[in-house]
């Protein structure tokens, strides 16, 4: 296998977290006296971090001003802390895939735009935190994906050359992150990607699940 480390996106790649996010958004909008959003809308809003998710929930005719957005984010954080991981589901093949990747002995990391206050507790709650030697959240570095900084930070913590890293994600943001950092990227087709299907031509491989990714990486 030519890869020496593997980094994984979280929401939409390892876990389907939309139910938890949708509930936190529902409670936030209810508390603010605003109209609710559907789960399908929330699924399309996910991908660029918590602040963008909340902003999209608030935006109808016009986006909120900075003070409104900050206040709404504080409300959302409180509600999401209470529901984070309660209804999150593994995508097919993730449990088996993570175990198989870990068995290779390669160092593994999570690189997500989710804030650190929620990333660690989520991974612990669903029982997969032990697989990762590095966890890079949306506020670990000064920039978030698709900036290369989070992925570069993860590889540094893993002691791996980014050029020999494989990143696995579900969206164009993961593709851009990997390209910006200078590593290979596989994508799964079942994630969020803001409502748009991932184009196989834009990544190094479109894989059905993490086990397929491992088999393909072994043949690389």
Q: In the prediction, which pLDDT does 38 show?
A: 95
Active site residues: 9
Mean pLDDT over 189-198 rounds to 85
Q: In the prediction, which pLDDT does 197 show?
A: 80
Q: In the prediction, which pLDDT does 196 show?
A: 82
DSSP 45-112: HTTS-HHHHHHHHH-SSS---HHHHHHHHHHHHHHHHHHTTTS-EEPTTHHHHHHHHHHTT--EEEE-
Q: What is the DSSP letter of 36?
A: -
Q: In the prediction, which pLDDT does 49 show?
A: 83
pLDDT digits (tens, 9 = 90+) for 179-189: 999 999 999 99
The more confident residue out of 16 and 47 is 16
Residue 195 has pLDDT above 80, yes or no: no
Q: What is the DSSP letter of 29?
A: H
Domains observed in the chain: 5-16+88-219 (3.40.50.1000), 18-83 (1.10.150)
Q: In the prediction, which pLDDT does 220 show?
A: 61
Residue 1 has pLDDT above 70, yes or no: yes
The rounded distance, in Å, linking the Cα atoms of 165 and 132 is 14
E strand residue ranges, 89-211: 89-90, 108-111, 134-136, 165-169, 184-187, 205-206
Residues 108/129, Cβ–Cβ less than 8 Å: no
| Mean pLDDT value across the chain | 95
Residues 7/168, Cβ–Cβ less than 8 Å: yes
pLDDT digits (tens, 9 = 90+) for 91-131: 999 999 999 999 999 999 999 999 999 999 999 999 999 99
Percent of the chain with pLDDT over 70: 100
pTM of the model: 0.93
Percent of the chain with pLDDT over 90: 90
The more confident residue out of 37 and 49 is 37
């Amino acid at each position: 296998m030519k890869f020496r480390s593997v980094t994984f996106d979280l929401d939409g790649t390892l876990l389907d977290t939309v139910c938890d996010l949708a509930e936190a958004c529902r409670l936030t909008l209810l508390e603010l006296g605003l109209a609710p959003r559907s789960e399908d809308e929330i699924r399309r809003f996910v991908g660029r971090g918590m602040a963008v998710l909340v902003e999209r929930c608030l935006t109808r005719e016009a986006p909120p001003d900075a003070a409104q957005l900050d206040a709404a984010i504080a409300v959302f954080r409180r509600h999401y802390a209470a529901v984070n991981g309660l209804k999150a589901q593994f995508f097919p093949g993730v449990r088996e895939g993570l175990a198989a990747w870990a068995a290779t002995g390669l160092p593994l990391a999570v690189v997500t735009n989710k804030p650190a206050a929620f990333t660690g507790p989520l991974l612990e709650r669903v029982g997969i935190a032990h697989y990762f030697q590095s966890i890079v959240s949306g506020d670990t570095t000064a920039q978030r994906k698709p900036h290369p900084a989070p992925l570069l930070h993860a590889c540094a913590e893993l002691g791996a050359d980014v050029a020999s890293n494989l990143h696995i994600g579900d969206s164009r943001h993961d593709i851009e992150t990997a390209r910006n950092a200078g590593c290979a990227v596989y994508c799964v087709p079942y994630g969020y990607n803001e409502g748009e299907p991932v184009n196989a031509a834009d990544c190094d491989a479109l894989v059905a699940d993490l086990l397929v990714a491992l088999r393909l990486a072994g043949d690389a």
